[in-house]
A and B are shown apart, each in its own frame.
Chain A
Amino acid sequence: MEHLLEVKNLEVKFALRSGELTAINKVSFTLDKGERLGIVGESGAGKSVTGFSIIDLISKPGYIASGGIFFEGRDISKASPDLIRHIRGNRISMIFQDPMMTLNPVFTIGDQMAETILAHRKVSKKDALKIAVEKLRQVHIPSPEQRLDQYPHEFSGGMRQRIIIAIALLLDPAVIIADEPTTALDVTIQAEIMELLLELCETNDTGLILITHDLGVVSQVTKKIAVMYAGRIVETGSTANIVSSPQHPYTKGLIKALPGSRGTGTKLHQIPGNMPNLTEMPEGCAFNPRCELAEDICRNTVPELKQRGEFKRFVACHMV
């Protein structure tokens, strides 16, 4: 069966003066219609770069070195700028981390929403505003008709993130990429927003790629997980499976580090050390300096992503 979105052996490099850095190394994953995938990892693991590279918006020194991104059967990593622009916002949309920054401060919500629709569809502004009102209602914004004439600063953070979700949904995209959509919000609002996102993806049968460092959120929302470490996927499989029995030592560490996983009163687990900088990658498995199980082979050879057990479970570790 053909997948809705398939990322195949994606390699993203950054051309710096000091040489080329590989930010994303042989990353592959698939997403079917209405499926929800979580990409998890620490800061700097390459999660966001993966998200941006899907819609060809990696910022300047970065570029896709090899691999392909197949959307509805076409390789969009090599598509023309016009085609990509047609896909952005229309078929694949994206939600950012900070709702305070993503809305243009000088335009009303209505203008910004209408603009998105008008960029992709030939409808009148009046009709565009009608669609906008309907989407605002879907994200539970009260009295949306009056809200259209307000400016971003007149909304609270949670409201703004709802508006951004509404904008992402405006053209009924097939895939939404949500890059840490709740990080900048209060904990209470976080849950509301996640629930809303989940509900909307379910009713519209929209695919979701949720990029986050929060395994807790991912386990509630997604069906599949890809754990990234230093630009590679180290473990992937179904969410339930990975959360209940993680195999890669890094995933194990992440799950142990969740609050409440060790019972009350005890110290939280920490993975010792930091993720290596892209300029000073260790030989062999990138995780070896922090890994308790590391042996000689880990320091020499990069582990391949291999199937382990059932449920399409893949792990990149010599020790499993």
Chain B
Amino acid sequence: MNKWKKFKESYFLYSFLRDPVAIFSFAVFAALIIISFSAPVTAPHDPYDTKTISIMDSEIPPLWQDGGDSEFVLGTDAQGRDLLSTMMYGMRVSIIIGIGAVCLQAFLGVIIGLLSGYIGGRIDSFFMRLADIQLSFSTLMVAIFISAIFQTVFGSGVYGEYAVPILVLIIGLAEWPQYARTVRASVLGEKEKEYVEAARVIGLRQNWIMFRHILPNTLSPVFVISTIQVANAVMSEAALSFLGLGMPVTKPSLGSLINAGFEYIFSGSWWITIFPGILLIVLVLVVNLLGDWLRDVLNPKLYKG
């Protein structure tokens, strides 16, 4: 109860309520989350259930066009799946992969950044050179490289089955240097501050000082990159899927839907690509806008002009 009261009086909530863009983005983001995670209940069709899918229904245009069917509001894709339902399921996959990958990135990056920054010396050089090397390749290239290895090692059948955790792993491994560098930079700043010295004077253990005293003071940049990285991870997943290295066609994400529809765009079935594309843009945009707002709140020195 006390916590709730504190939250209600906080600057965080205050600045949120004063920022219409933040409210709008949050509302859209929440709506998208609810829609995608309630898909098994609310979606008009189940795109994973092959029994309900008929190839006869393929490439039906959206409702308002000639030949539209009231059963398929946004039309169907090349396999006869209801596009609206498939998008809802697909967005769920995209969001799960995005958030999962960011959790992995953050976990790896924060620990590596903290150790590098606090201990320094050889550990620092080792991890930062590793990060440099990885950053000198593009993220997508690293991801393609890792996923190609996964596919050859496990075979594409197994890969299809475990595509979600594998994609989380791939995108997570590809982007940890972002976190590690940010955290390291703020640890370097924090560890010189007197409260760290004071903690040592009190006689606390090194690990305790590192995780309990320094880590919380470096978290605000971590939150900010996290939102941006969620958007990035969703995009990376879409890009990988678009290249055919992501989610299989049977369990499409937004990216693989865009990819699947791309082949039909010149034969007139534009909706298979355009609708998932718009949804992807909206999702990434609201997450980025939220991240922007969060950066302004957590970094009071950065006043808007």
Contacts and interface: CB of A to CB of B under 8 A. Distances in A.
A119 B209 CA distance: 11
Interface in A80-108: 85-90, 93-94, 96, 98, 101-107
Interface string A161-201: 00010010000000000000000000000000000000000
Chain B interface extent, by class: 10 to 19
A57 interface: yes
Interface string B210-243: 0011001100000000000000000000000000
B202 interface: yes
A55 interface: yes
Given A104-B217, A106-B217, A167 B202 contact: yes
B18 interface: no
B194 A89 contact: no
A85 B205 contact: yes
Nearest to B217: A106
B216 to A, nearest CB: 4
A116 B202 contact: yes
B202 A104 contact: no
What is the interface of chain B mostly: helix, strand, loop, or mixed? helix
Contacts of A295: none
B194 A88 contact: no
A74 interface: no
B200 A57 contact: yes
A173 to B, nearest CB: 10
B200 A88 contact: yes
Interface string A143-165: 00000000000000000000010
B197 interface: yes
Interface string B185-221: 0000000011101111111110010001100110000
A115 interface: yes
A120 interface: yes
Nearest to B213: A104
A257 B203 CA distance: 39
Contacts of A87: 203
Contact of B203 (A89, A96, A101, A103): A89
B202 A89 contact: yes
A104 B216 CA distance: 10
Contacts of A96: 194, 197-198, 201
Contact of A104 (B199, B201, B203): B199
Contacts of B198: 94, 96, 102-103, 164
B203 to A, nearest CB: 4
8 contacts: A85-B204, A89-B203, A96-B197, A101-B195, A106-B217, A115-B202, A119-B204, A119-B208
The 10 A-B pairs at the shortest CB distance, nearest first, are namely: A88-B203, A89-B202, A89-B203, A101-B194, A102-B198, A104-B195, A106-B216, A94-B201, A85-B203, A116-B202
Interface of B: 193-195, 197-205, 208, 212-213, 216-217
Given A102-B198, A119-B204, A119-B208, 18 more contacts: A85-B204, A88-B200, A88-B201, A88-B202, A89-B201, A89-B202, A96-B194, A96-B198, A98-B194, A101-B194, A102-B197, A104-B199, A105-B217, A106-B217, A115-B204, A119-B202, A120-B203, A167-B202
